[in-house]
Amino acid sequence: MASTTTAAAAAAGVGAAPANGATAAVGRVELPAHEGVLDVVVVGAGQAGLSAAYHLRRSGLSFVVLDADEGPGGAWRHRWPTLLMEAVHGIHELPGLPVPEIDSARPAFEALPEYFATYERAFGLEVVRPVAVTAVRSVPATGWPAAGSGTDHPVRGTAGESTAGNRSSPGARVPAAGERADAGIAVEHAAVEHAAREPAAPDLLAVETDRGTWTTRALINATGTWRHPFVPYYPGAADFRGRQLHTADYRGPAEFAGQHVVVVGGGTSAIHALAEIAEVGTTTWVTRRPPVFRDGEFSAEVGREVVARVEERVRAGLPPESVVAVTGLPPTAAVRAAREHGVLTRLPIFDRITALGVEWADGSSVRADAILWATGFRAALRHLAPLDLREPGGGIRMEGTHTARDPRIHLVGYGPSASTIGANRAGRAAVHDLKALLSTESTAHMAA
């Protein structure tokens, strides 16, 4: 079974390793080094990344999926153990494989990674991991073969030097028997002059990682937000004698037994923490804006409104809003539990942090053993900084799933596609657009 999957993956270009000759272990399979230019590199193997990979697998484009985690599951791998499936809302199946029946009492960090792992095996998506992408840069196409040209990338020495001169160039004229060895020089010079007159091939992208560099014609970024938790600055934060942590580091209520915790934030993670900590300690809830509790379930109409509002912002080059800022808080089990514990009395955000707690401008204060920042995440896009994609408003202006400044770069799971169903649609749309773009580029270059 493993050999069949490997062969299928190789045929589709999945699992190619860096041009420095490294191999990539995927499960028990050692994938051979890939010495050429891929059509697409997908960064991230969460919902959006796997959706894109599914459609790439069927597109005929060569690609590889790189993921920073040790195993499947995306951000679900890192959720706190007390987050059970009964409290998880808005899960949508990956394309082509329904979510199986899952015991509602199972921790989400176990159940959903299992589903992702099954999905990767079912469709032969041999994700290369762990690979941390550090930077993506635009590089000239000189010296690299066009994708699908049938030629290899120049062989690289151990120090990175090209050893292409140690072998015959593809298509080079071989002198006939008895002919001087330099007789082909004029032909080669003519070829060089002809090449100099040709339009330059489109730039490529160098995807730099902790395991070498992949070179590609396009990139689908699906890195989500989990690796970029946001903690706002407040005066005095460094003086606080208790513990400060973000929900990314929250592992459940047991560590706060007998303590008073200030929970900061108006989203579903804050509500979940308030309900849990109330079982073992006491809490104070603070938010920047008064929370809005939605009575009804999340309908299709509400979904369309959310997408339209977020799309409007990203088209203008503004950072996406949080989901709760658009939708309000849904009537979840966590909300009901928090109400029962009487912990949904909200205070406005404090003005400063003191050594012993938090304080407001009017002099009122709350003592705290810990401050839990449930203040959300930002898109994990630092590795794209060399491409200069951001607008003056701080966001990345989008046209569909691709960035306005560079149509080779697609962001899935960003902005309006930052939901499980939105990520599925974005993966499909990104592959559709890239197939058209890369085909047009190849046709134009061949015609020239």
In the prediction, which pLDDT does 105 show?
87
From edge to edge, which strands make up the β-sheet containing 357-359?
A: 352-353, 357-359, 365-367
Tokens of 21: 């000759």
Contact of 88 with 259, CB cutoff 8 Å:
no
- Domain assignment present for 435: yes
Separation of alpha carbons 188 and 135, rounded Å: 37
- Residues 241, 223, single domain; the answer is no
Tokens of 399: 């046209």
199 Cβ contact partners less than 8 Å away, ≥ 6 residues apart: 445, 448
In the prediction, which pLDDT does 286 show?
97
How much of the chain, in percent, has pLDDT values that exceed 70?
Answer: 69
Q: Over the stretch 262-287, which tens digit does the pLDDT of each residue have?
A: 999 998 899 999 999 999 999 999 99
Separation of alpha carbons 407 and 404, rounded Å: 6
Residue type (1 letter), 144? W
CATH number, domain with residue 266: 3.50.50.60
In the prediction, which pLDDT does 5 show?
35
- Residues 216, 276, single domain; the answer is no
- Residues 357, 384, single domain; the answer is no
Backbone angles phi, psi at 335, to 5 degrees: -65, -45
Q: What's the pLDDT band for 181 if we cut at 50, 70, 90?
A: very low
- Residues 353, 431, single domain; the answer is no
- Domain assignment present for 409: yes
Q: Which of 373, 404, 428 is the last residue of a domain?
A: 373
Range of the domain at 348: 237-293+329-373
| Residue found by looking up tokens 């939901």 in the block | 419
Long-range contacts of 284-287 (CB under 8 A, 24+ apart): 284/260, 284/347, 284/358, 284/366, 284/368, 285/343, 285/344, 285/345, 285/346, 285/347, 286/262, 286/346, 286/347, 286/348, 286/349, 286/350, 286/358, 287/346, 287/348, 287/349
Q: Which of 342, 373, 404 is the last residue of a domain?
A: 373
- Residues 83, 46, single domain; the answer is yes
Contact of 91 with 420, CB cutoff 8 Å:
yes
In the prediction, which pLDDT does 424 show?
80
Q: What's the pLDDT band for 180 if we cut at 50, 70, 90?
A: very low
Contact of 349 with 264, CB cutoff 8 Å:
yes
- Residues 248, 127, single domain; the answer is no
Does 187 or 245 have the greater pLDDT score?
245
User: Quick check: helix, strand or coil at residue 128?
Assistant: strand
Q: Spell out where 87-228 has E strands.
A: 133-139, 204-209, 212-221
In the prediction, which pLDDT does 439 show?
87
Separation of alpha carbons 387 and 138, rounded Å: 7
Tokens of 258: 């007998």
Tokens of 408: 């080779």
- Residues 217, 335, single domain; the answer is no
Q: What's the pLDDT band for 45 if we cut at 50, 70, 90?
A: very high
Give the bridge partners for 3, in sequence order. Answer: none
In the prediction, which pLDDT does 35 show?
56
Give me the number of domains the chain comprises: 2
Q: How far is CA 375 from CA 22, 233, 241, 325, in A?
A: 39, 11, 21, 12
Does 226 or 11 have the greater pLDDT score?
226
In the prediction, which pLDDT does 447 show?
54
Q: What's the pLDDT band for 292 if we cut at 50, 70, 90?
A: confident
Give the bridge partners for 214, in sequence order. Answer: 207
Separation of alpha carbons 399 and 410, rounded Å: 9
282 Cβ contact partners less than 8 Å away, ≥ 6 residues apart: 259, 260, 261
375 pLDDT above the threshold of 60: yes
Q: Which of 338, 373, 408 is the last residue of a domain?
A: 373
